[in-house]
Structure 1
Amino acid sequence: MKAGDLWNLPEDCTFRQFFNPEAKPWDWLPQISKSLSCFDFPATNFDVPVGLSINGDVFIASNVSLPPYGVIEGPAYIGSGSELRPGVYIRGNVIVGRDCVLGNSSEYKNCLLLDGVQTPHYNYVGDSILGNKAHLGAGAILSNLRLDQGEVVVKTAHGSMRSGLRKLGGLLGDAAEVGCNTVLQPGTILGPRSAVFPGIAFGGYLGAGKLAAAIHEVRVMERPG
């Protein structure tokens, strides 16, 4: 599996040279910190809301919508037209593309969000990559650490592969979607235009254009007393 099978890197991406479409998808994660370390961060020249804490090397495009409160820890790059909502927590090594939404009370760490990503409400995005126009429903969590804290093994269409990583969250292809209150297990790969239904725990590999759902029976009965 190649990164190019999941993501079409925008032509105007500032860090395009660091992300090889022929590489394994999870091999893009270490490139996040490498690319940011090579970026020439300009001095902050805009008004920062009183309740928004910004520390370290941070680039924020001039037309980004900033929240009245939140925390941004560098290094981080926030692309043009994006929106940061109240209570956002950016923990470093984060690249955000154009026209993204980073939601209220949501946390981001060592992740790459390509253009048009929507993570509007109560999400955790750690050690993950979200493709163009990927979407997380409210409360969706991308788990990045196994319970035994061992190496994350990823599943692909061609079998299982060792990632060499102790922390690896979700790798979501372009236009992939995750329903409300769903948890993706470490190393989950969602192909382009795939979707995971709300309220389930899902792990492994979901091919392009596929849906994953857990069918639960709902019973209606008389209430005692």
Structure 2
Amino acid sequence: MLYFDPLYFLFAIPPLLLAMFAQWRVKSTFQSMSEVPARMTGAQAARQMLDSAGLTQVGIERVPGHLSDHYDPRHKVLRLSDSVYSQRSMAAVGVACHEAGHAFQDAKNYAPLTIRNAAVPAANFGSGIGVTVASVGLMLSSIPLGKVLLLAGIVMFAGVVFFQVVNLPVEFDASNRARRHLVEGNIISANEEQFVAKVLNAAALTYVAGTLQAVMTLLYFIMRFMGDRR
């Protein structure tokens, strides 16, 4: 069985530990940078950044939850959490303008963003069904049907890995756009950019951890399928 295979834990534990560290770092960094004041709220900073690029049609909405911030390309709207929308802090400004960076990408038809958005259905399907099918295939590995199910699960979960890999340049680019426009737009000073960078760099680590988890899981399934038990 998958969950009692020592080999699985060799693949799973390192990225899991990295993910746990990344989540801790995001929370602690956001909290500490929330105490560093900014001259405007997250919503105001994002609005100024969007308007400076002529993206006046992109809306900004408040949504519940903590760090539930995201850009909705279908409705052309930034959705900012309470701790970002109305707070005057470097943490709020950094997160809000990172999401505004995604709106910039959308407006410019940034290719990795287009590919990522197209991969969302496959990733959503493969993240649940793919792992389940592959796990069942491993449990039935002694019969031909097990190999078929394992291969099917690998193919489905490959969509998750593809999404995660493509997502990395999308997120990094959005952060780079935010940091550049924050200073150029006089939303923050050049000396304050270091505080925003701490928040965005911490967030970047979560994307790396998520990608590593997906890649290592896929490699484990592939190795089991190939029969390599070394």
TM-score scaled by structure 1? 0.27
| Structure number with higher relative contact order (C-alpha < 8 Å, ≥ 6 residues apart) | 2
Q: Which of the two has higher C-alpha Rg?
A: 2
| More helix per residue | 2
TM-score scaled by structure 2? 0.27
